Amino acid sequence: MSKRVVILDYGSGNLRSAQRALERTGADVSVTDDPHTAVEADGLVVPGVGAFSSCIEGLRGVGGDRVIGKRLAGGRPVLGICVGMQVLFERGVEHGVASDGCAEWPGTVERLQAPIVPHMGWNTLQAPEGTRLFAGVGADERFYFVHSYGVLEWTMEPVSPHIPPPLVTWSTHGSPFVAAVENGPLAAAQFHPEKSGDAGARVLANWVGTL
């Protein structure tokens, strides 16, 4: 049977292109703001474009932060995309204003340290050994980014010697930034897999394959 994937509609994100890209993996995809449907799906995608503060406000407005928490407590997969990844961190700082995020990971989303911002276009990644999200993706493959802010430092301390640490993928625009994270049922990408051609399609298929 096809896996049921919900794209959370909270007023932000390129919902239809993400829906079409996920449908091409063979998943049964719906777009909704209904919390029950979002909690019960095999996989939940949290998109996001624009300002961190607007996205986290919209996410909380539909109870999305609680949906994410419930899913993770039950080991149910969640994938954040672009600002949908950023809001999973502890806080975001834009134009000197700090906003609290979902705090699933410690760390701050801040302005990229680069001569040209936004970072818009194609870039390569440095994925770690053991990655499932990037399995079968060549080291020279490029992914599509469009963002002015990111996570420049990974600050999460090891939880236990018996629990594998998150797998962090990096990219560089002026300086390194977190491009993706794989942490048990919680995964996220700063780039747009739905706009990243065959490489992005492989990433989405890999994620759906874990459901």
pLDDT score at 151: 98
Confidence band, pLDDT 50/70/90 cuts, at residue 37? very high
Stretch 50-76: mean pLDDT, rounded? 96
Count how many domains the chain has: 1
pLDDT over 80 at 159, yes or no: no
Cβ(8)–Cβ(62) under 8 Å? yes
Confidence band, pLDDT 50/70/90 cuts, at residue 63? very high
pLDDT over 90 at 1, yes or no: no
This prediction has a pTM of 0.96
pLDDT score at 149: 98
pLDDT score at 189: 98
How far apart, in whole angstroms, are the C-alpha atoms of residue 121 and residue 147? 10
Place of tokens 């994410």: 68
- Percent share of the chain, pLDDT over 90: 92
Backbone angles phi, psi at 96, to 5 degrees: 80, 0
CATH label of the domain that carries residue 127: 3.40.50.880
Stretch 11-30: mean pLDDT, rounded? 93
Helix axis angle, 64-73 relative to 52-61, nearest 10°?
Answer: 80
Q: How many CA atoms lie within 13 A of 198 on its CB side?
A: 5
Amino acid 208 reads V
Cβ(130)–Cβ(167) under 8 Å? yes
Stretch 85-89: mean pLDDT, rounded? 98
**Distances in whole angstroms, Cα of residue 161 to Cα of each of 149, 150, 192:** 32, 28, 33
How many whole angstroms from its chain centre is CA 165?
A: 17
Stretch 67-84: mean pLDDT, rounded? 97
| Burial class of 179 by CB neighbour count within 10 A (0 to 12, 13 to 18, 19+) | buried
pLDDT over 90 at 60, yes or no: yes
Residue 152, domain extent: 4-210
How far apart, in whole angstroms, are the C-alpha atoms of residue 139 and residue 136? 9
**Distances in whole angstroms, Cα of residue 117 to Cα of each of 145, 146, 147:** 12, 9, 8
pLDDT tens digit sequence for 184-209 = 999 999 999 999 999 999 999 999 99
Residues marked as catalytic: 82, 192, 194
Stretch 70-83: mean pLDDT, rounded? 97
